[in-house]
Structure 1
Amino acid sequence: MKLIHMSDIHLTAPGATIGGRDPRRNFERALAHVLRDHHDAELMVITGDLSDWGDREDYLWLKAQLDAFPVPVRLCIGNHDNRAAFLDVFPDLADEGGFVQGIHDTPAARCLFLDTNYAQTHAGRYCAGRLRWLAARLDEHDGPLLLFMHHNPMPVHLAPLDRIRLLDDTAFRELAARHRSRIRHIFFGHCHLPLAGSVAGIPVSSLRGTNHASYPLFSETVMLSASDLPESYGVVFLGDDYVTVHMVEFGYGGPIRVEGSPDYQDWNRETMAR
């Protein structure tokens, strides 16, 4: 099975840019790229920071794009999002507690979508009420399960990012640990970086967003770091006994060389011409 993971699309008013890049235009480019190469995906998930300022108009525009998109899409919210404005446009994505949480079953796994938004801060929270919701969902299904969330559920050891991670990540990891045999993978966003690791023995991954990119500058301890690296989205393949995750840099504009291309014959040990 194939699914698409996007994150941090950061929609803004028409024509507004972030880091010199147009989030709406780049999101449209990402959708077109997915349809060109991955129209057979079972599901696309966008893990938060849907709007840069949490504006209702951004959610209305997003809904119009997704209503016309032929692949099923599910959404999480992030620290830049406004839960009330989002649910005014997407009311069917609220759980019984008013959080943006839900379930989507696929042939390969049950997907759970988590709400880590914590109002008035860029850090994330997963409070007792949300933990109870997740515990109930994990208890009621034999698995396998995939979890999608915005904030990183473990330290990434970049000080500016770790200050705005999921602040109650220990409680989250303790709950995940009790179900690790049935959770195949956790996907998150927020950091604008390609990341991989594990949480309570469960593999996790993240990626750059569809607009602006960060950079792992370990020497900077106060300010977030930005770069001009290409915009990206993720492609995930799930088999019975494996998960493969790609980060596709659709914003890359340079050459891509394949075997048989005109210059490939020059790639040899004698000349070392590459």
Structure 2
Amino acid sequence: MNAPPSPDDGLSPAELAARYGLTVSGARPSLPQYIRQLWARRHFIGAFSRAKLQAQYSRAKLGQLWQVATPLLNAGVYFVIFGVILDARGEVPGGDHNYVPFLVIGVFVFTFTQQSVLAGVRSISGNLGLVRALHFPRASLPVSFALQQLQQLLYSMIVLLVVLLAFGQYPSWPWLLIVPALVLQLLFNAGLALIMARLGSSTPDLAQLMPFVLRTWMYASGVMFPLHPMLTGNANLPAWAADLVAANPAAVYMDLMRFALIDDYTPGDIAPYPWLLALGWALLAGVAGFVYFWKAEERYGRG
């Protein structure tokens, strides 16, 4: 006995899926849908970043003190090499007594970006079990790692406050500028972490290469010496070239923090239009990084 004809007879698989509202498992959502999904997971992002921060030094005897001790020890090493041996202290606005605050601000601010990038590279490849077991917007991972580094920086700011007070830098209205500066740097770092997360998910060896790239970026950003005055004082370098080098994002965010926290800093000691540069870098990295990461959403964890 023949079965009665079905209204689905003759329909292609795509037409059948459209008729019954079926979608491909793991298909990439539209960009507006993806943004809504990510916002819905905001509590997970916050909890995940806090858990990672607490677990980072859980096996060390000094525990969370290493969050502050690590960048502070780095600053101590750079002080001996650049401040004492190479005598870069006199180039800092305000003279020798400002060099330690100058250096500590630079190390802490650059470490914020450096660690966000390194964590972003491993955010997908280092959490494949989570990616394959649960359905959630994968951008949650690199964003949460950027937030983790922000929390670590905020802990370090306690030590920075002590350093500033010890060297005669007292709270004033310009200190309020650190809030928008950190917000813009967080957006920049998150965008950079998203870009590196996609690249790192398909190229695991990138995690081995990035420390060398970041070390080069650090030396080119004026962490240990005032970049813009040094460049503008070079007779062999045109003024526009000096401004271009000083406009790199790591240098811009360090300049804004130093300008806010060190009294002797003036607009002439930093790159021109620093707030416009900071906003431009934040929007460029944040938007481009988010879209670039989203375009490969369905491929993460499939390899």
Q: Give the alignment's TM-score, normalised by structure 1.
A: 0.21
How does the TM-score come out when normalised to structure 2? 0.20
Higher strand share: 1
For the pair shown, the structure with the greater C-alpha radius of gyration is 2
| Bigger relative contact order (CA 8 A; separation at least 6) | 2
More helix, by proportion: 2
